[in-house]
């Protein structure tokens, strides 16, 4: 499983967000090295991004479109 460069960029923003809900799983996903780790962490990251989108995905902040794009890329 390859890490899509656009997704890496978005997840890096999540990792730097300071919001534990998404920054911790984002950092863990970015640190994943092999396919098994990436698959496992992708599942955790997807759940966290979905929750972030549910809680904050329409507040008007700069992250709103990133949640939706990340979910699209994570499910591809």
Residue 14 binned pLDDT confidence (cut-offs 50, 70, 90): very high
Q: Mean pLDDT in the chain?
A: 93
- Cα distances from 40 to residues 5, 12, 62, in angstroms, run 19, 18, 27
What pLDDT was estimated at residue 69?
Answer: 96
State mean pLDDT over 48-73: 94
pLDDT digits (tens, 9 = 90+) for 24-57: 999 999 999 998 999 999 999 999 999 999 999 8
Q: Is the CA virtual torsion 65, 68, 69, 70 positive or negative? A: positive
Is the pLDDT at 5 greater than 90? The verdict is yes
Which residue from 52, 59, 39, 60 is spatially nearest to 10, judged by alpha carbons? Answer: 52
Other residues' Cβ atoms within 10 Å of the Cβ of residue 61 = 11
């Amino acid at each position: 499983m390859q890490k899509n460069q656009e997704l890496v960029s978005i997840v890096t923003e999540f990792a730097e967000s300071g919001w534990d809900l998404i920054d911790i799983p984002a950092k863990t996903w970015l640190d994943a090295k092999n396919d098994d780790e990436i698959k496992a962490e992708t599942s955790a990251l997807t759940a966290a991004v979905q929750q972030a989108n549910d809680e904050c995905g329409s507040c008007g902040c700069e992250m709103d479109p990133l949640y939706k794009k990340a979910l699209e890329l994570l499910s591809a």
